[in-house]
Chain A
Amino acid sequence: MTRRGAGLALLACGIAGLPFLASSAYLLTVFNIIGLSTIVTLGLILLGSSGQVSLGQAAFYGLGAYGSALLSRDLGWSPWATIAIATAATAGVAYLVGVPTLRLAEHFFVLATLGFGIIVNVLMVQLVDVTGGASGLRDIPGLRIAGVSLAADRAFYYLVWGLALAALLLAQNITSHRTGRALRAILGSEVGAAALGVEVSRYKMQVFVASAAYAALAGGLYAHYIRFISPSPFSLYASLFFLIMAVVGGLTNIWGGLFGAALITILDQVIRAQVPRVFPRVGGEYQTAIYGILLVLIMIFFPSGIVRGALDLGRLLRPVGPEPAKGGSA
């Protein structure tokens, strides 16, 4: 078994065993949120490996959630099917969005995704007849398998983490081999990559659609877990949140996605619990200050993410063996 394969197996075992160590409903919910966030963040990192940043992931997350919720609630279709359909449909939307936006230079692409995200969010609020507006959608059916409900925290935990690990594996593979090298070439220089025959537009589109699919899948799962959705988890703040998770883990580092999602989710829980004690009169998204500073510090001092940054600091001697390239060996 390869070193990476062993690592993955170990991780899978750890994840499988965790609910037995920490079984309170609160903790399981946190772990489930981390699982969902990991999937979204992995998509962002896939996108990041080609040198692009999206500030509209929450929109794809929301399209997956609303799509699946509406199809299952109003048409009575099985949530399994609706999650798949919503994911595919959102991927289609991403393709359409990608055609005009992917040819823009980095700065402009970010802004286009930002604009897209805000427009989608506005539509979620304004199209009251369809989406229920700001009050959201209730009574979303839960997931069932062979008659057993998966809405319970522990059951859902295994579902979401199984999918998260699969998503991790797929992303890891895509960023290895020829495709990974091509993506990293695009990250380094689109012109240089094109000059070697890398079909830059096609690769950028593929990872963009993949990142949207990842987010939509997570959104669909979210909808059938919480069974209530509203526009607020799909706002610009949510997109920034996912970005921070990706950045913390290392914007091009697949394994960092899990680490970043976990760290930020836990950090957020801690902040929400502790900050009101220090600043009692503050309401609203005060965490943004902390996250903003965190973002700046990480991008300056650990642009490859905290994990890799720590490893780099420790590596004072020249490497003696083959250095694993970002995102996995080639």
Chain B
Amino acid sequence: MTAPLLEVVDLTKRFGGVSAVDGVSFAAAPQEITTVIGPNGAGKTTLFNLITGFVPPTSGDVIYRGQRITGMPAPQVAGAGIIRTFQNLIIFNETTVVENVMVGCHRWTRTGFIQAALALPAAVREDRTVRETAMAALALVGLEGRAHDRARDLPFGQQRLLEVARALVARPSLLLLDEPTAGLSAQEAQHLVALIRRLRAEGVTFVVIEHNMDVVMDAADRVIVLEYGEKIAEGPPQAVQRDPRVIAAYLGEEVPGP
């Protein structure tokens, strides 16, 4: 049993009187694909925000590679290898597709202000490497033909793929995808799942928020179910699918209390 890559321990976030996330705990083993599901407003995206440093938790801990990263600022969390995407898709609108992806290389490149200002040869070489890496990632998701178009001109499905390519070039150890198949056609979603599997084989660990049950059943090793900020179920997809509490959460029936 290998040590978990990510451990979330009793994580809680309260906004005023409301608990968006309430005492959630789980662990993600290396190269595992964990999906997080739950009705809207269950706290899934807030969970991601807590893990990645965009929102400070009220209590609880986030442990990554054995180190406590609770409350670490977002750029540092990303710098440590945890890369996330966004439910509403964040694209840098004013730049080209390939430049968008090149930003993803930021965390493992080094040119600072002085080196850039003086246009040192190392900076120029780095640019070449970054550009090649970006183009390769675009090829992987099938967007290399549109590399020089403006990112905002892409249709939504392709912008989603752009976001994935950008997350890839960051060489993440842990990839947190927030509804990556939303807005994708069935074929595009399959393509993405195949990509995720391939990356997992290469060593990336995934936590994915998903609404698309086909994807969940197909791709997930483990499923975590959130409702009203609490974890109400955890386990392999088939088991969770049959869990009465999960069914009730989605259908809105009352569950007899404990």
Contact = CB atoms under 8 A, between A and B. Distances in A.
A179 B113 contact: yes
A176 B116 contact: yes
B117 interface: yes
A198 B104 CA distance: 9
Interface in A194-208: 194-200, 206
B92 A173 contact: no
A174 B86 contact: no
Interface stretch (B23-31, B73-81, B210-218): B73-81
B170 interface: yes
Contacts of B95: 184-185, 188, 325-326
A197 B170 contact: yes
A243 interface: no
- The DSSP consensus for interface residues of chain A is helix
A296 interface: no
Contacts of B170: 196-197
A273 B116 CA distance: 43
B166 A196 contact: yes
Nearest to B102: A181
A196 B127 contact: no
Contacts of B116: 173-174, 176-180
Contacts of B191: none
Contacts of B54: 191, 194-195
Interface in B59-118: 73-76, 78-79, 83-86, 90-96, 99, 102-107, 109-113, 115-118
Nearest to A322: B148
B131 interface: yes
In this complex, the interface size class of chain A, counting residues with CB under 8 Å from chain B, is 35 or more
A197 B94 contact: no
A195 B92 contact: no
Interface residues of B, number: 46
A192 B86 CA distance: 8
Given A184-B92, A325-B95, A195 B111 contact: no
A310 interface: no
A330 B75 contact: no
Given A181-B99, A196-B170, A326 B94 contact: yes
Contacts of B86: 191-192, 195
B130 interface: yes
B148 A319 contact: yes
Interface in A164-194: 170, 173-174, 176-182, 184-185, 187-189, 191-194
A9 to B, nearest CB: 15
A317 to B, nearest CB: 13
Contacts of B124: 177
Contact of B99 (A319, A321, A325): A325
B132 interface: no
B255 interface: no
A147 to B, nearest CB: 32
Contacts of A326: 94-95
Contact of B111 (A179, A187, A188): A179
A319 B130 CA distance: 22
B52 interface: yes
B19 to A, nearest CB: 23
Interface in A294-330: 319, 321-323, 325-326, 330
A198 B74 CA distance: 9
A146 B117 CA distance: 30
Contact of A178 (B75, B92, B118, B126): B126
A178 B111 CA distance: 6
10 contacts: A173-B117, A184-B92, A184-B99, A187-B94, A188-B90, A188-B92, A195-B74, A196-B103, A197-B75, A198-B103
Interface of A: 170, 173-174, 176-182, 184-185, 187-189, 191-200, 206, 210, 252, 319, 321-323, 325-326, 330
Interface of B: 52, 54, 73-76, 78-79, 83-86, 90-96, 99, 102-107, 109-113, 115-119, 123-124, 126-127, 130-131, 148, 150, 166, 170
